[in-house]
Amino acid sequence: MTISLKAAAKGELVFTSFLFVVAVVVLVDTAGIEQSNAVGFVGPEVFAFMVGGLMLLLSGLQIFAVLRGQRGTPEGVEGGVAVSDPNWKAFGVLAIGLILYTSLLQILGFPIMGTVLFFFVSMAIGAKPNLKLALISALVAAIIFLTFNEGLRLQLPSGLDTISRIQNPPVEGPVQEIINDDGVVVDEQDGGDW
C-alpha cells in the first residue's frame, strides 16, 4: 500500500513539474518575441507574461503542496471503478490503434483505418479480439463513412486513390536512376508535414 502511494505521489510530482516546465516554456518563448514598433503600448508579450507568470507561481505552490503530501483524488470511472494499478497492456493497445489510424488514415482510407481504430479501442476496453469484433468494427466504420461522405458531404479519405496509384503507378523509369544517385529525395515526402 505504501509503495503504491509513494508511486502515485511520484507520478503527481512529475506531472506538477511538467506544468511548471510548461510555465517556463511560455515565459522563455514570450521573452523571445521580436519587438515590433507597430503594436503601440501593449504588445503580444504582456498578456503572455501574465499567464506564464501566474502559472509559474501556481505550479510552484502546487509542487510544495504535493511534496507535503497533498495529493489529488483520481476521477471515477462511469459504470466501473478506478483502480490504482495501471493496465499498460490495454493502454498500449489503445495507443497503437490511435497511432496507426493517425499515420495511415490518408493512405489507406477511413473504411480500413476506422475499422482498425474501433477494433483496437474496443479491445483495449475489454472486448475479445475475435471475428465478431472485426465484423462490428467494419460495420461501424462503414456506417460512419457513408454518413459523412454521402449524407453530410464531408469527405473522409476513401483510400481508393491509393489503390489506383498501386494499380497504375506513375511512370517512374527515369526516376529510378535519380534515386540511385540521391536516395534522400524519396524521404522528402514524409518529412513535408513537419
Partner 1 sequence: MDFSLFLEGFSNSLTLTNLGFGLLGTILGTLVGVLPGIGPALAISLLLPVTLMVEPTAALIMFGAIYYGTMYGGSTTSILLNAPGESGSVMTTIEGNKMARNGRASSALATAAIGSFVAGAIATGIVAIAAPSIAWIGIRMTPADFFAMMVLAFGTVGAILGQSMVRGLLSLTFGLSIGLIGLDLQSGAERLTFGIPDAFDGVETVILVVSLFALGEALYVALYGQFGKADKTAFKGLAWMTKSDFKRSWGPWLRGTAIGFPTGVIPAGGSELPTFLSYALEKRLAKKKHNEFGHGAIEGVAGPEAANNANAAGAMVPLLALGIPTSATAAVMLVAFQQFDIRPGPLLFTDQPLLVYTLIASLFIGNALLLVINLPLVGLWAKLLSIPTPYLYGGIVTFAMVGAYVLNNNSFDLWVAIVIGIIGLLFRKFGYPVTPLILGVILGPMAEQQFRRALQGAAGDPSILVSTPFTVSIYALLTLVLVVPPIFRLARARALK
Q: Smallest distance, Å, CB 183 to partner 1?
A: 25
Q: Smallest distance, Å, CB 6 to partner 1?
A: 15
Task: Output 165 or 178, the one with its CB closest to partner 1.
Answer: 165
Task: Output 150 or 181, the one with its CB closest to partner 1.
Answer: 150
142 and 111 Cβ atoms separated by less than 8 Å: yes
C-alpha cell at 64: 510544495
Q: 91-107: string of b/e by CB count within 10 Å (b at 16+)?
A: eebbeebeeebeebbee
Cα-based angle 92, 137, 122 (whole degrees, multiple of 5): 35
62 and 19 Cβ atoms separated by less than 8 Å: yes
Q: Smallest distance, Å, CB 167 to partner 1?
A: 24
Q: Smallest distance, Å, CB 131 to partner 1?
A: 15
Q: Smallest distance, Å, CB 31 to partner 1?
A: 11
CA atoms within 13 A on the CB side of 146: 5
Task: Output 72 or 185, the one with its CB closest to partner 1.
Answer: 72
How far is the C-alpha of 111 from the C-alpha of 156, rounded, in Å? Answer: 9
Task: Output 64 or 178, the one with its CB closest to partner 1.
Answer: 64
Which residues are CB-contacts of 148 (< 8 A; sequence separation ≥ 6)? 154, 155, 156
How far is the C-alpha of 60 from the C-alpha of 68, rounded, in Å? Answer: 13
Task: Output 5 or 175, the one with its CB closest to partner 1.
Answer: 5
